[in-house]
Chains A and B, each alone.
Chain A
Amino acid sequence: MFIATLGIFGMHDILQIGAFLIALIVLTPLLGNFMAKALNGERNFLTPVFGGLERWFYRICGIDPEREMDWKEYLLAVIAFSLVGLVVLWLLQVTQEYLPLNPQHLPNVSWDLAFNTAVSFMTNTNWQSYAGETTLSYFVQMAGLTVHNFVSAAAGMAVLLALVRGITRKSKEGLGNFWADLVRMTLYVLLPLSVILTLVLIGQGTVQTLSGYAHVTTLEGQKQVIAVGPAASQIAIKQLGTNGGGFFNANSAHPFENPTPLTNFLEVLSIILIASASVYMYGKMVGSARQGWVIWGVMLSVFCIMLSFSLYSEYSFHPPYVSTPSMEGKETRLGITNSILWEVTTTVTSNGSVNSMHDSLTPLSGMVGMLDMMFGEVIFGGIGSGLASMLLFVLLTVFIAGLMVGRTPEYLGKKIEAYEVKMSVIGVLAPGAAILIFTAIASITKVGLSSLNNGGPHGLSEILYAFTSGAANNGSAFAGLNANTVFYNVTMGFDMLIGRFVPIAAYLSVAGSLAKKKAVPPSAGTFPTDSALFGFLLIGVIIIVAALTFFPVLALGPIVEHFLMLAGKTF
């Protein structure tokens, strides 16, 4: 007898989610502890392996890892490094015809698509206007995209480290050395984990070859060309580095990217692992594990709420013309639960890889994905940038709590003053403004509307999802939208740049200002930030900011679509 598992939420599904949460909880302190050591430049168990290499990196690039940078210098280094990366990646794409490792003889990429993809990978967004298997050569995938998967994640972590130093240092200018942070994150954290994950993925069936595509004759005598390539090495870092850009167009729904439920489990865990561990690392670095756990608890609570809501929508609602939950855009081997677990994980972190097509989810599930990103990628979020944005929310919460009791707000012994609050507000609101303005432009112009794949309110959702994903540096999509047009390639490019660099400038300016301050000892008027009460306040601030900014547009998109779907309306 078969058990009819499709479409029914049962014990089996609870087990899979439970295993994911347990693995996350167990690995968070282990990896967090290691990262606190390795990223501080302390000796760790990998020093014998990578220590020599690290010093060689510094020597060949002429870097003194001990030289401190102030916030402006640090910001300049981040921007300069990113810009050079952007230009090089653009050049690689528009000249790929003349470069090696292009067995399918794919032509040069158009200027606008190359711009979009270069911005997308440099900003850790990994939005896919391109279709990997028909657009990009193996060389561009390896020497272009894979490199940015590493360094954009490492740069995100570097910025977080600078912010943490700003909080912990007293009366200093320096925030650390960007180059040293970049190298340590790449060598000690991203690379070892990627090597392990790559090997497991290959063992399970993910392809890793330099040969050209395979030509087969099917059992019924048809021709089929099967795209292969050096995929596993890129997929490993795409998940671990909260990047998300697929080797293949269908991303992690593609059986060569995500062949089995086991690879699915490991990939979805990799998406969130480093972001989660960095919260524990933060607690260690500021000298109080509780500070870290409270923020982590806030993140996990919101994560669980969003996951439950999305599962509820996907299992309970469907249009009246069918009697089961939808499998449109989902893979049989993964089923509904794994698709939704992935959807929520990939949107709360800024990963953006997908194992099901979000465009085909029920309206409220799709809204959960958007809302996750609209929170500002602070629920775990992107590597480094997620926690850094969360710390801006923490400062705002401390400020609001301070207003309520009428005292000067403090955070970890530092007075929070007008300058920090202003910068935090700019960092928090800039992506939201970009989302709404670009969405508005696209929804009232012909060139914006002509890319839609769905009518009615779902069309608005497609546009809204795209710009939300870009500004949040997420990269997942309602992929029905044909985003490979000059209009979308360019507007999305600027959307991603605003979403990346305005918040980074905010973190670093706050860090610079905090580092200069003297520490004040906690007094009776200090509002404790390691309590559950603070956690609730923080959740409140995050939800209120997102709700105030986005409720109107969500009401016009997914919410109205939900009711129209239940009424049996189609467009």
Chain B
Amino acid sequence: MLLVMTVFTGLIYPLVMTALGQIVFPEQANGSMIRINGKLVGSKLIGQNFTSDKYFWPRPSAIGYNPLPSGGSNYGPTSDTLKELVEMRRSEFIRSNGLSPNAKVPPDMLYASGSGLDPDISPESAELQIDRVARARGFDSLQTAALSKLVKSYTEKPQLGFLGDPVVNVLELNIALDSLR
């Protein structure tokens, strides 16, 4: 019985699903990869690290955006280490984006994600980074306005109008940013 079940649910079922997935949704089944000039630069769904001022930054990651293996920090709210990390991230975000010392930093920029590969940030976190990116790229006020528009156009609304929170996909935004004139 176990053998029959193994053949049926362990081989036939996943292999038929793989074949169907590859035929019907080849893009998604292979990881929603993004290519620029034929070169693989990442996946739309997997976050990657950005440290340069010229790019929008993603959320902190407990694994440094290395997907092998994925995971979060698993620090609890009474962890010393987490407290230090959060305080460091707050002052760093405030300093590099030129915010007022008492500015409220959105929680997604203070805390690492569960997967360590979160591809998104909140629209608020993207908006707070616009000035820094514009400065680093030497944008004039017209170009900065275009950048603000770009961030808005890359803000994804909740799915079907009510599911999930609004987000900005960092990699997609940064790719669009590179082609902004």
Binding site for B on A (CB under 8 A): 2-7, 12, 15-16, 19, 57, 60-61, 63, 81, 84-85, 88, 131-134, 142-144, 146-147, 150-151, 179, 182, 186, 191, 194-195, 198-199, 202-211, 213-220, 222, 224-228, 230, 232-234, 237, 248-250, 253-256, 259-262, 264-265, 318-319, 321-335, 338, 354-357, 359-360, 362-363, 366, 453-458, 461, 478-480, 561, 564-565, 569-571
Contacts and interface: CB of A to CB of B under 8 A. Distances in A.
B40, B65, B79, B171: which has the most chain A beta carbons within 10 Å? Answer: B79
Contact of A360 (B17, B74, B104, B110): B74
B115 to A, nearest CB: 4
B63 to A, nearest CB: 9
Contacts of A329: 72-74, 111-114
16 contacts: A16-B163, A142-B14, A146-B9, A150-B9, A219-B50, A219-B55, A220-B50, A226-B42, A250-B116, A265-B163, A327-B113, A332-B59, A332-B120, A455-B80, A478-B74, A480-B74
Contacts of B86: 321-322
B75 A480 contact: yes
A152 B151 CA distance: 47
Contacts of A228: 30-31
Contact of A230 (B17, B45, B46, B107): B17
A16 B162 contact: yes
B159 interface: yes
B100 to A, nearest CB: 15
A211 B111 contact: no
Contacts of B165: 5-6, 261, 332-335
A226 B43 contact: yes
A224 B66 contact: yes
A260 B159 contact: yes
B69 interface: yes
A242 to B, nearest CB: 16
Contacts of A357: 71-74, 114
A327 B111 contact: yes
Interface stretch (B18-26, B91-99, B139-147): B18-26
Contacts of B134: none
A322 B41 contact: no
A3, A250, A461, A564: which has the most chain B beta carbons within 10 Å? Answer: A250
Interface string B126-145: 01000000000000000000
A249 B77 contact: no
Contact of B46 (A146, A186, A211, A256): A256
Contact of A328 (B46, B75, B123): B75
Contacts of A131: 69-71
A150, A191, A255, A457: which has the most chain B beta carbons within 10 Å? Answer: A255
